[in-house]
Amino acid sequence: MTTAKTSTALPDKNGHFGSFGGSFVPETLVTALGELTAEYEAAKSDPEFQAELDRLLREFCGRETPLYPAERWTEKLGGAKIYLKREDLLHTGAHKINNALGQVLLAKRLGKKRIIAETGAGQHGVATATVAARFGLECVVYMGAIDMERQHLNVVRMRLLGAEVRGVEAGQKTLKEAVNEALRDWVTNVRTTHYILGSALGPHPYPMMVRDFHRVIGVEARKQILVHEERLPDLLVACVGGGSNAIGLFHPFLEDADVKMVGVEAGGHGIRHGEHAARFQGGKLGVLQGTKTWLLADEDGQIELTHSISAGLDYAAVGPEHAFLQDSGRVEYDFATDEEALDAFKELAHTEGIIPALESSHALAYVKKIAPKMSQDQIIIVNLSGRGDKDVEQASKYLLAEEA
């Protein structure tokens, strides 16, 4: 590894992580983003805000989540000792509520009465609808029309929670278009409305703020591993869509030079144009939806089609802090294909009695490859970012096709 460049002081005041990040937005949003940044900084150092956040994380969301030694899987792979950080046990079934809760508290502070969000698979939409209901705020979620079909159950969940789900018919009718629509709404209604963005993406302050709300994952894991093992782990592994669960786990360990970190992107059908979402494999530097980062685009700068079996990893751009961490060499990025993720999905269910999200299964697929090559006195922590109940139907299609 190159010298461990520490980056815990980033971003700078304009949201730059080295040459990545920043804020590329229409003029109408500049003031709102400035207000949001100022309010966030004030909240961050306000003990009352932090106490309410902590209390709700505990009592409403179910923190802290266990750090679970996966004994049978460790034995089966025959190498490093594997711990699972159980974000799948949180309320609504994934890490996403850490951020949704933090942002809704901020919206309240800002006096905003209306919440909007984008969603791909529907997980962030459900987390947002949940916290909006908890605080009695109006909630509108933008979702691509194709995603609404694919993830019908989450549409029903959001509506039960009192949110309005607006289908987006533009372009590929998936996440990227939903983000565009949410940004358009925000420009129009910025006085009354807070936009709860769902990953460590978008213009400053979102990548920083979303990261900070998820840091609790790594802060807990660090404390827990010291209790279990009286030492830090050798390796951290997490899947990377926008990168929020990964940065949440990694960030509190960045200055521990001996802790290696790997982010795992979606390799889809393999690294060919339009068939994956691994931005560090054949991507390029560009600007998408407010931030400068690695993304998948063609020669003319047109955003390419992406594919992943897991909707949560199926996005053309990666969070700017990951672009920075890759560039500096502090974090390594690899990918897992659909098939490898499905294998790991099945294996964890069979050996540990835990059905993981397909997103998280990409991280597990990497562990499946690397753990046997490590020694038995080494330790891996893998972020189990969500549970797989939402994916059972999708997985069964593939698994049945396999059997046929």
Ligand X SMILES: *Cc1c(COP(=O)(O)O)cnc(C)c1O
Which active-site residues does the annotation give? 96, 118, 385
Asked whether position 193 contacts ligand X by CB under 6 A, the answer is no
| Contact assessment for residue 238 and residue 273, using Cβ atoms and an 8 Å cutoff | no
From the list 44-52, 133-141, 226-234, 240-248, the region that binds ligand X by CB under 6 A is 240-248
From the list 47-55, 108-116, 244-252, 287-295, the region that binds ligand X by CB under 6 A is 244-252
| Tokens representing residue 386 in the block | 């969500």
Segment 52 to 111, residues that bind ligand X, using CB under 6 A: 94, 96
From the list 14-22, 76-84, 225-233, 238-246, the region that binds ligand X by CB under 6 A is 238-246
Collapsing DSSP states into helix, strand and coil, what is residue 297?
A: strand
Residue nearer to ligand X on the CB measure, 33 or 313: 313
| Separation in Å, CA 62 to CA 57, 293, 371 | 6, 33, 30
| Tokens representing residue 113 in the block | 């009465």
User: At its nearest, how many Å lie between ligand X and the CB of residue 244?
Assistant: 3
Residue nearer to ligand X on the CB measure, 313 or 374: 313
Residue type at 295?
L
Segment 123 to 152, residues that bind ligand X, using CB under 6 A: 123
Give Rg (Cα) of the chain.
20
User: At its nearest, how many Å lie between ligand X and the CB of residue 357?
Assistant: 4
Give CA–CA dist 156/165, Å, rounded: 9
Residue nearer to ligand X on the CB measure, 96 or 112: 96
| CB-neighbour burial class of residue 238 (10 A; exposed 0-12, middle 13-18, buried 19+) | buried
Strand partners, 165: 141
Asked whether position 355 contacts ligand X by CB under 6 A, the answer is no
List 7, 306, 385, 394, residue binding ligand X (CB under 6 A): 385
Give CA–CA dist 395/244, Å, rounded: 24
Asked whether position 244 contacts ligand X by CB under 6 A, the answer is yes
Give CA–CA dist 238/240, Å, rounded: 6
Residues that bind ligand X (CB under 6 A): 94, 96, 123, 199, 239-246, 312-313, 357, 359-360, 385-386
